[in-house]
């Protein structure tokens, strides 16, 4: 293997606009990318003189996720890696992390015949409605905005469901449609 530049021990630090959890702490994510070409050794990582991480450095590339106290304004942080006689320093700017509220919504798309023929896929779509009814039951005690809801995107599986499922399942489906928990 030929290199145009000498390969040597070094560190890059990347601050990410993300908060990670370590136990009960919320910490701002910084990744230390350390190239180390000595014998495996314990290393200590400091932020502004305070020990924040102890880890083993192995020969080659080491990626270490660090957690720093979140900042409210752009802040310079002096990071230092000490591994035996090797000391690596980097000053980074830690920017505040924008707080987002993320809502996860289950979504599927029905495209019958795309992956398999209708006769092959029908059993799965009938089972999806059974599962949706079970999930509605399982979340009945949840607050209204957390209760499971399902949209039957295509009429064909619902029509087939009404033709072949026992009366008790059809009653469950009708009940959930009336509650607006299943849209068919």
Per-residue pLDDT reduced to its tens digit, 52-101: 999 999 999 999 999 999 999 999 999 999 988 888 899 999 999 988 88
56 in helix, strand or coil? strand
Could you tell me if 90 and 122 lie in one domain? Answer: no
Q: Which two tokens stand for residue 74?
A: 């752009």
Domains in the chain: how many in total? 2
Whether pLDDT at 140 is above 90: yes
157 DSSP assignment: H
Distance CA 151, CA 105 (A): 12
The two beta strands, 150-151 and 182-183, are parallel
Say how many C-beta atoms besides its own lie within 10 A of residue 148's C-beta.
Answer: 19
Could you tell me if 20 and 84 lie in one domain? Answer: yes
Could you tell me if 142 and 69 lie in one domain? Answer: no
Could you tell me if 87 and 131 lie in one domain? Answer: no
Q: What is the pLDDT of residue 2?
A: 64
Helix 155-164 vs helix 167-178: crossing angle, to nearest 10: 140
What CATH number is associated with residue 85? 2.60.40
Could you tell me if 133 and 89 lie in one domain? Answer: no
Specify if 42 maps to a domain.
Answer: yes
Could you tell me if 78 and 140 lie in one domain? Answer: no
Q: In what order do the strands lie in the sheet with 10-22?
A: 10-22, 25-36, 60-68
Radius of gyration of the chain from its Cα atoms, rounded to whole angstroms: 27
147 DSSP assignment: S
Q: Which two tokens stand for residue 107?
A: 């979504």
Q: What are the pLDDT digits (tens) for 91-125?
A: 999 999 988 888 877 776 777 778 888 888 899 99
106 in helix, strand or coil? coil
Per the structure, the complete domain to which residue 142 belongs is given by 118-183
């Amino acid at each position: 293997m030929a290199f145009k530049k000498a390969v040597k021990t070094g560190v890059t630090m990347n601050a990410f606009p993300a908060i990670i959890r370590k136990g009960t702490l919320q910490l701002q994510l910084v990744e230390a990318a350390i190239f180390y070409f000595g014998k495996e050794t314990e290393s200590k990582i400091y932020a502004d003189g305070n020990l924040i991480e102890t880890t083993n450095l192995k020969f080659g590339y080491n990626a270490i996720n660090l957690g720093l106290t979140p900042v409210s304004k752009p802040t310079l942080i002096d990071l230092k890696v000490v591994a035996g006689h090797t000391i690596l320093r980097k000053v980074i700017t830690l920017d505040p992390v924008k707080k987002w509220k993320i809502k996860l919504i289950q979504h599927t798309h029905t495209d019958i015949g795309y992956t398999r023929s209708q006769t092959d896929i029908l059993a799965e779509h009938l089972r999806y409605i059974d599962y949706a009814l079970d999930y509605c039951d399982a979340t009945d005690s949840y607050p209204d905005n957390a209760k499971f809801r399902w949209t039957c995107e295509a009429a064909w599986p619902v029509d087939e469901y009404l033709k072949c499922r026992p009366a008790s399942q059809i009653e469950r489906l009708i009940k959930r449609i009336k509650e607006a928990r299943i849209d068919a």
